Amino acid sequence: MLTQINGLHHVTSLASGAQENNAFFTKVLGLRRVKKTVNFDAPDVYHLYYGDEIGTPGTVMTYFPFPNASRGHPGTGEVGTTAFAVPKDALPYWETRLAEHKVDGLVRTDRLGEERLMFKGPDGDGFALVGADDERAPWVADVPADVAIRGFHSADLRLSQRDAQASAQLLRFMGYEKDDSQNNVTRFRVPNGNEAQVIDITEVDAGRADQGAGSVHHIAFSVDNRAKQLEVRKALMDTGYQMTPVIDRDYFWAIYFRTPGGVLFEVATNEPGFDRDEDTAHLGEALRLPTQHEHLRPQLERQLEPLHD
């Protein structure tokens, strides 16, 4: 069993419009845009990062907004819900706030003894706010500190029964322990991790998901450094997983592999962080480009959709 994984690092999803996505996360949810860059593999598409003040691992939601992308269709083999932690008494505030912003899909529910507020993002993305005891300091801008989002609470994998069993075995190998269960939901938690330490597996009887706008592209797990990442990579390869080489993503190093259910997992380092090329006070303001795409700057600055803050 691995001991290097701390919990979630980031979650990356797909969107159909950059400005709408930016406004939703910064103005409605009150997160900070900590990086404005581009997709390494498609430099004409933004890669937008939102989180706390410095983009602490476990707080960072990221997006590839492909202009006018068609919506995904939910099913198995995907992350169905990305959940954020808020203070326990903050859900009434958020229910009112999201209703005022005409956010779709508002439903109050309970899971494993925790109250949660379900809602949809601009592209039908599945989200929840979970009332939790969470001491992380939030980014404070449009939302008051005493009710603001603290970071991730959990990610929910939607899987068939067979894939759920295999994925549970994988999570145990990665260092997660079974925490609780309720109906078709089984919760896993990594001990001694960061606050974003929960993965839920929900067994569903449905067809395979079709990825598109509103779908989660991948979830990333946090490790402290490159040495620990290499240990994880070797252990997973020895177990039979097909691992990518280590890839430099400028703000972290990344490796990727597919789970038995088809969900794309990443293992990302906490170093070097989002302040490697911008002062903390100005994170996310300027367009930052990977070195290999810097020569495209004049073209990209004309082509990319302007973001109005």
Q: Could you read off the pLDDT tens digit of each residue along the chain, which spans 309 residues?
A: 999 999 999 999 999 999 999 999 999 999 999 999 999 999 999 999 999 999 999 999 999 999 999 999 999 999 999 999 999 999 999 999 999 999 999 999 999 999 999 999 999 999 999 999 999 999 999 999 999 999 999 999 999 999 999 999 999 999 999 999 999 999 999 999 999 999 999 999 999 999 999 999 999 999 999 999 999 999 999 999 999 999 999 999 999 999 999 999 999 999 999 999 999 999 999 999 999 999 999 999 999 999 988
In this structure, the chain runs to a length of 309
Sign, Cα dihedral of 106, 130, 139, 152: negative
Task: Quote the CA–CA distance of 222 and 4 in Å, as a whole number.
Answer: 8
pTM surpassing 0.75?
yes
Structure tokens at 33: 């845009």
Task: Identify the three-state secondary structure at position 161.
Answer: helix
**H runs (alpha helix) in the chain:** 18-23, 91-100, 161-173, 226-239, 297-303
Fold of domain 7-303: 2,3-Dihydroxybiphenyl 1,2-Dioxygenase; domain 1 (3.10.180)
